[in-house]
A = this chain, B = another copy of it.
Amino acid sequence: MKKAKRAAKWPRDPEGMRIRILEAAKKEFAAYGLAGARIDRIAAEADANKRMLYYHVGNKEDLYLAVLEAAYEKIRAEERGLDLEHLDPSAAIARLIDFTWNYFIRNPEFLALLNTENVAKARNLKRSTKVKSMHSPFVEMIRTIVDRGVKTGEFRVAMDPVQLYISIAGLCFFYLSNSATLSFIFGRDLLKKDAKEERLEHVIMLVLAALTGRSGATLTPMATAHDSHLA
């Protein structure tokens, strides 16, 4: 019997292959965690061979770290495009909240990855050299907004930017990341459209109330625009 000449499923495309692998790995790690993820499933999902993962990226842990780094890079990059400098302080904060909320909704894998990594006490992330440096510019961006708000008298207090960001992220993150257990124990679907809209308004109200000392009724309409889909 003649040996069949089997064409490769994908013509040679190392770059594309690497991307497909990382995308598949992201899904897998998000769905099952580091320990629960299966190399074979990632390979299958990427329309690749198991050997390819090792060839293009490395072992399971390397793969996981690569996914994690890419995830951080992606969100921080989108945030840099927010252009908050040109908005009034309150509007800037509302926009940051709106972005954060919708980013988390659009990227549920990001939440799951962070959870997995935190259960592991950031053991893997600590091996990263890139991730840390992404964050000082981000903190400075928030600090600038707060300082401006204080200077114009719009904000009551010079809130610590890290504290503020953790609150914003926390109010969004916890609701979405824990929506499965919360929906179950409270017996209501936290992910249905109405519930999500209500939550975003609630978060914006909460944060601005604390910053400005004024009621949530002063929200600009813009602040409640959903899914800003920034470039």
Residues of A within 8 A of B (CB): 30-36, 72, 112, 114-122, 125-126, 131-132, 134-136, 139, 156-157, 160, 162-163, 166-167, 169-171, 173-175, 177-188, 198-199, 202-203, 205-207, 209-210, 213-216
Q: Evaluate contact between A210 and B209: CB separation under 8 angstroms.
A: yes
Can you list 21 A-B contacts with CB-CB less than 8 angstroms, sorted by A residue number? A30-B119, A36-B36, A114-B178, A114-B181, A115-B115, A115-B116, A118-B177, A118-B178, A120-B180, A122-B181, A122-B184, A135-B187, A160-B198, A160-B202, A163-B199, A170-B171, A173-B174, A205-B210, A206-B207, A206-B210, A210-B210
Query: Which DSSP category, helix, strand, loop or mixed, fits chain A's interface?
Result: helix
A78 to chain B, nearest CB (A): 16
Given the interface pairs A131-B185, A135-B185, A210-B206, the reply to whether A33 lies near B166 with Cβ below 8 Å is no
Chain B residues lying within 8 Å of A198, measured Cβ to Cβ, are 160, 163
